[in-house]
Structure formats: structure tokens, C-alpha cells
Amino acid sequence: MNYQQLTEAERITLNTSMFKAYDIRTKSEHVSKELSIRLLEAIARYYHEILSVDTIVLGRDARLAAPRLMEEALEIFPTFGLDVIVNPLQSSTCQFYFSCMQHPSAGGIMFTASHNPGEYIGLKLVAPPLQALALGAGPKGGITAIRDFYAAGSNKPSTKTRGRVYIRRYLDQFIDYSRSLAGVHETTLKGVPIMVDFLSGAAGTEVAEALIRSGADLTVRNLIPDGTFPAGEPNPIALESLRPTTELMKKGDWAFGFAFDGDGDRMDLMDRHGVQVPPSFNLSILIPEVRSYFESVHAQGYWGSAPFNPQLFYDVKANPLSIVLQAKAGMGVHIIRNGHSFIKEALRKNLDDQYVLASEESAHYYMNFPYDLNDLSKGFASTENTLFFALLTARMYSQYPEKYEQAMKLQHSIHRRREWPCHFFDDKHLKPVVSEVERIFADRGLTVFKEMEDGSSLDATLMRKGLPLKIDESSDLEGSWLQVAQRISRSEEGIARWEVASSTKEGLDEAVGLIMAVTDRYVERGEAKYI
């Protein structure tokens, strides 16, 4: 029996909705011991039979449900003949990815639910060499195949050889690697006052230690990992969670600040007033340093005789002004759909064409990272390392604060409502809502884009007036324009999200009002709520 053969009642009983587009994620209360064992056995079978790996790297963040799942994995995986390399302590997802880079022939599983509230748990899965698995993406369909094994049940070991468990921690190596690549040394940040809020997530140790070792005058908040997340939802976008820190920054004298989510793969940057510096603008300032590194890669012959022509992917929600800056900084710019697994896979597949960098406005940063800083023949891993980006950002901000002031002036020169979510209690409402919003803006003359440049789906709706789909260094943005981005979340249940940017306040207010007029109806009927 596979997933398609299950009845709706069986799917509910087995909680098959936990198999999301890019990972596995659900409320902890919906994963009984029986179901967690069933899930881990399905995963073990996939790694053993489909991926043919003999080793799996395990990591976990601070979530309360993570230790139980990791302990069960340590019991189950060896029975399938799999060796397990595990760090029993909580760590960020990015440190976990770095651990996988030390074992490129191994699979990997991170127990985390990222930025979701504390009652959630999940698994991020990678195949060798550090290839993100998703629903329909990966050998034999990736998570789709795992879901079929899970639906079938009875996934028993086919080998009598028992694997072994090895303890490995890569914290020091991770910090050294990230500091070296970012060009940050013992005195680089000497005396620079930096505020960091970890929201009780798992990135505190590595980020705080790296910044302090680099000379920063660091103020930390919510440093201790705590799966109850006492500060609130571990998401920098959750304003109530971050508000105490932003209010404190308004009264203090910090140069800038950072905020990280529960598993540390989101890095929000704040100016000295506690106002978010959008990732797309931050990236435009980092590009010359990243470009310089990859120019050295090119000089060593990595791309053969091809001329140096680095490329990046930008998020559908990125401020058009920032895209122009990115292009002027020496990168080819290309729109891409949301989704960490999708973006990393796109970077991996297009590395030969010099696609090296990407970001999302949700504060995710991606790059093709060298496995070995001293030996490029080992290749690159398309992954996330927010420690590297935090260190590089700290160096650039401390050296060139005027560039960030200019970026914020540009950001403030337009009008933006940062992405906001609406939770619909029944998924059946999602498509009608986004379809209605699309019709409203199309009737008002906005051009609707649903495809990337290569013709594949954006998995979102981007609506623009006064702007082309392809923005580059020659694009003229002096006139009146409006941009509306909407999407259905693939990692959360019942969530639709919107972001609006406009050259005028009137355009912003009207666009936000039109969207809210649609979603308000559902909220007033008790079918949805704003979160």
C-alpha cells in the first residue's frame, strides 16, 4: 500500500499531513511513539534501500520533542545497518549542515521545526552530497517515497549487520571555517557594540562565541536554548517576540543588531534604531565581498575558460530598488520561487553556470560553500550558513555604516508592508482567497507573473504595475509602481502570506486594504485569524 491508496480516515489517523513540500513538520502532540517509530523506520529504509548510504548525520535544536525522536533514531537506524554520527547537544541547522559537509557521502537529518511555535516538531532531510530532499524532489521522489514507505508500514531491516553510533561535534571547526571565509579575525570587530536576540533558539553558542572572539562588544538576549520559547514564537518576523529587543535598541547605543529564529537558519538584521534592514538590501552590500571570493575561485580555473559572470537568485518579495543595486554590484539577477529546498537545489544544479548566491526576504541566505577552503577540487555545497553571513554582515556594517544608512534611505523612500500571514482553519479556503486577490489586482491593471524566467512555476503570484518581470541594472524605477506578492505556505498548515511594496503611500494603503477586505470576511466569519 502507498499513500495514494490510503482512505481519508487512514490519512488522518496516520497524520500524513506532516509530509510538507520541503520537509516533515507537525504538532508534537500528533506524533505518538507508535507513529514516530513508523516514520523513522520509513526514513531508515529510504536511506538504506534508495540512497544506499551507510551513514547518517543527526542533529537537533532546542525543541522539547527533539530529544525523544533523536533517541528513537539512535535505536532504529543501526538496526537497518546504518552508522550514525550524532551531536547529542542542541545546535543550529546551519551547524548541522556544516557537519554534513564533513561527511559528504552520508545522509543527514535535523530534528527541528525552524521558526514555528514550540508545539511543533519536524525533520529536515538531506541526501548525499548535501542535497535537500523535498516532496517530489530527490531520488525516487525524495519525501514522496518516504511517505509511501510510511503509509505501507512494516518497514523492517533487511540486514543483520548492525550499525554503530559515533559522537561528533564540529562547533569549533564551524566557527573557524565561517570566520575565515568571512574575513573576520580577532580584532575585526573590536569594540563594535552589537545587539543579538536568539529568541531562545539554538544558534546562541556559535554566533555569540564567534562575534566575541572577533572583538565585538556583544549584548545578548534570550541566549539560553529553551524549547518552551519563553520570549514568544521563535521567529524574528513575529513582532511581539522581538519587540522588547527593538524597543531596547531605540534607547541604547548599539551600532546594529541581529535576530535569529529557533534553529538559527534565519538571520534578521536591524539598524541602530531596531528597524529591520531587508535581506535583499543587506545582500546588495555583501555582494562585492562574495563576488571577490568567487572571482578567486574563477582565477583558480574552477569554471575553466568561461568568463567570470556570477549570478544570483532573488525572492519574489524583494524590493525592486534592491534588485537594481544587486545587479549594479556585479551580479546577474534572477527571480526564484520561495522554499529552502528548492532554492538550494537550484543553486546546486546551476553552479556550473556560476549561480552562487541567493536570499529570501524571510531572512534566509544561501550560497555555494566550498567543502574545503584550501582545496576547491572537493567542490561546493549548496546550503545555508547564517554564521558566515552574520560575520560578513558585521564586518561590512562596522566598516561601511554609510552604505547601510543609504540602503535604509532607499528602503524608506518607498512604502512597504512586510509579509504578513493569515491562518485559515480549513485548507479549502486557501486557493479561493488567493484567486480572488489575484482577480482584484488584475482588474486594476497589474500584470500577473506566475513563472520564473525559465518558464517553471513561481509557486506564488507576483503582481506588478509599472515594473517589468526582468529587473536589471538598467531598469528605471523613477516612475510610479506597485508590487504585490502572495503565496500559500508549503511549510505551515492553512497559511497564506502577502507582501506589498509601492512607490507611493496611497498605492500601498489601497493595495493592503484590498487584500484585507478579502481576508477580513473569513476572519469575521470565524474561518481564519491573523497571526
Read off the pLDDT of residues 376-433 as tens digits, 9 standing for 90 and up.
Answer: 999 999 999 999 999 999 999 999 999 999 999 998 999 999 889 999 999 999 999 9
User: Do 131 and 80 belong to one domain?
Assistant: yes
Q: Quote the distance between the C-alpha of residue 107 and its chain's center.
A: 19
The CA angle 229-234-238, to the nearest 5 degrees, is 125
User: Do 152 and 52 belong to one domain?
Assistant: yes
User: Do 138 and 198 belong to one domain?
Assistant: no
Of 145, 169, 193, the position where a domain reaches its end is 169
What value does the mean pLDDT take over residues 493-510?
A: 94
Structure confidence at residue 305 (pLDDT): 95
Quick: pLDDT tens for 144-200: 999 999 999 988 887 778 999 999 999 999 999 999 999 999 999 999 999 999 999
Q: Which domain holds residue 422?
A: 414-530
User: Do 164 and 195 belong to one domain?
Assistant: no
In a domain, 364, yes or no: no
Of 277, 293, 314, the position where a domain reaches its end is 277
Q: What is the CATH number of the domain that holds 453?
A: 3.30.310.50
User: Do 198 and 132 belong to one domain?
Assistant: no
* pLDDT surpasses 80 at 492: no
Structure confidence at residue 73 (pLDDT): 98
Considering the chain, what is the average pLDDT of its residues?
A: 94
In a domain, 68, yes or no: yes
In a domain, 48, yes or no: yes
Structure confidence at residue 452 (pLDDT): 87
H-assigned helices in 190-238: 204-213
Structure confidence at residue 436 (pLDDT): 97
In a domain, 61, yes or no: yes
**Beta 107-111 vs 55-60: how paired, if at all?**
parallel
Q: Give the model's confidence band at 456: pLDDT under 50 very low, under 70 low, under 90 confident, else very high.
A: confident
Task: Give me the number of domains the chain comprises.
Answer: 3
Peptide bond into 129 cis (omega under 30): yes
What's the helix, strand, coil split of the chain in %, to 5? 40, 25, 35
Q: Give the model's confidence band at 21: pLDDT under 50 very low, under 70 low, under 90 confident, else very high.
A: confident
In a domain, 324, yes or no: no
Give the orientation angle of helix 320-328 with respect to helix 279-299, to 10 degrees. Answer: 20
Structure confidence at residue 400 (pLDDT): 97
What value does the mean pLDDT take over residues 348-377?
A: 96
- Catalytic site residues? 114
Structure confidence at residue 185 (pLDDT): 96
pTM for this entry: 0.93
Structure confidence at residue 449 (pLDDT): 92
Nearest CA to 51 among 114, 119, 147, 128?
Answer: 128
User: Do 16 and 147 belong to one domain?
Assistant: yes
More confident residue, 227 or 3: 227
Structure confidence at residue 339 (pLDDT): 84
In a domain, 378, yes or no: no
User: Do 80 and 213 belong to one domain?
Assistant: no
Lowest mean pLDDT segment, chosen from 248-262, 335-349, 386-400 = 335-349
SS3 29: helix
SS3 390: helix
What value does the mean pLDDT take over residues 16-23?
A: 90
What value does the mean pLDDT take over residues 92-115?
A: 96
Lowest mean pLDDT segment, chosen from 80-89, 457-466, 503-512 = 457-466
User: Do 11 and 144 belong to one domain?
Assistant: yes
Q: Give the model's confidence band at 350: pLDDT under 50 very low, under 70 low, under 90 confident, else very high.
A: very high
Of 113, 144, 169, the position where a domain reaches its end is 169
User: Do 205 and 63 belong to one domain?
Assistant: no
User: Do 120 and 41 belong to one domain?
Assistant: yes
Structure confidence at residue 459 (pLDDT): 87
Quick: pLDDT tens for 256-269: 999 999 999 999 99
User: Do 97 and 199 belong to one domain?
Assistant: no
Structure confidence at residue 239 (pLDDT): 85
SS3 528: strand
Query: What is d(CA 495, CA 486) in angstroms, rounded to the nearest whole number?
Result: 11
User: Do 222 and 145 belong to one domain?
Assistant: no
Structure confidence at residue 4 (pLDDT): 92
Structure confidence at residue 81 (pLDDT): 96
Q: What is the CATH number of the domain that holds 154?
A: 3.40.120.10
In a domain, 154, yes or no: yes
In a domain, 351, yes or no: no
